[in-house]
């Protein structure tokens, strides 16, 4: 019985990879009168399914974050190379063409550039790293055998201060929506 369960679980393990494209709607908490600023989120991902319901998600993206300021033309644009790692729970069965999911996990971001609305480099105002967490939901839709359209929506927030100044606390917060195509690279 135990060997049958182990064989079933090992046969259910799959790895798929693909491109992802989406948008961010973020602001920097701690900045007076901050409001949402939209940005691009583009990169690649890998999904590893441990069994029918449990998996891991890995992404590497170029992610535009920042904030706009109410009643002004002021903006802060922060560009990160971001790596989120999530645990995923898939609903339904492997054979279903529509699989809702929930996911959560940490992320690490490396600041690539920081500019204000005039194009001035303000990278010295912000720390080179952003460590945070995210939670989200989405679904996978089967386009053909083992090729899936992945739609995700997540909320993320910094767990650490991203401001360099000792007496200032800034944190990235926001919503991301993305779509990706996953292609299998291991047997099911």
Is there a domain that residue 3 lies in?
no
- Give the structural domain span for 28: 14-184
Here the CATH number for the domain that contains residue 176 is 2.40.160.20
- Domain-located, residue 174: yes
Among candidates 9, 18, 30, which has minimal Cα distance to 149?
18
Structural domains in the chain (count): 1
Q: Is 148 a member of any domain?
A: yes
Query: What pLDDT digit, counting tens, does each position of 69-95 carry?
Result: 998 889 999 999 999 999 999 999 988
In this structure, is residue 130 part of a structural domain? yes
**6-45 per-position pLDDT tens digit:** 333 444 578 999 999 999 999 999 999 999 999 999 999 9
Tokens standing for residue 172: 């990235």
Q: Partners of 15 in the beta sheet?
A: 48
**pTM more than 0.85:** yes
Output b/e per residue, 74-109; b: 16+ Cβ within 10 A. Answer: eebbbbbebbbebebebeeeeeeeebebebebebeb
The pLDDT value recorded for residue 96 is 95
> Contact at 8 Å (CB) between 140 and 172?
no
Is residue 63 packed enough to be buried (19+ CB in 10 Å), middle (13-18) or exposed (0-12)?
buried
pLDDT tens digits along 96-128: 999 999 999 999 999 999 999 999 999 999 999
Q: Is residue 27 part of a domain?
A: yes
Residue 149 falls inside a structural domain: yes
Q: Which pLDDT score is estimated for 182? A: 95
Domain assignment present for 5: no
**Within a domain: residue 138?**
yes
Question: Per-residue pLDDT tens for 53-70?
Answer: 999 999 999 999 999 999
φ, ψ for residue 45, nearest 5 deg: -140, 165
- Using pLDDT thresholds of 50, 70 and 90, give the confidence band for residue 4: very low
Q: What is the pLDDT of residue 161?
A: 97
pLDDT of 2 above 70: no
């Amino acid at each position: 019985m135990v060997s049958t369960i182990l064989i079933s679980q090992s046969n259910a393990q799959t790895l798929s990879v693909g491109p992802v494209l989406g948008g961010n709607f973020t602001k920097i908490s701690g900045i007076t009168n901050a409001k949402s600023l939209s940005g691009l989120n583009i990169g690649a991902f890998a999904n590893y399914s441990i069994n029918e319901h449990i998996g891991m998600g890995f992404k590497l993206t170029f992610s535009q974050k920042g904030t706009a300021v109410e009643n002004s033309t002021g903006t802060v644009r922060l560009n990160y190379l971001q790596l989120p790692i999530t645990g995923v729970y898939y609903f339904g069965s492997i054979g279903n063409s529509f699989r809702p999911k929930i996911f959560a996990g940490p992320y690490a971001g490396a600041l690539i550039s920081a500019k204000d609305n005039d194009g001035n480099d303000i990278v010295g105002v912000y720390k080179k790293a952003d460590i945070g967490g995210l939670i989200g939901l989405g679904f996978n839709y089967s386009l053909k055998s083992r090729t899936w359209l992945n739609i995700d929506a997540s909320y993320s927030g910094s767990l650490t201060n991203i401001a360099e100044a000792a007496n200032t606390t800034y944190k990235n917060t926001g919503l991301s929506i993305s779509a990706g195509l996953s292609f299998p690279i291991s047997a099911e």
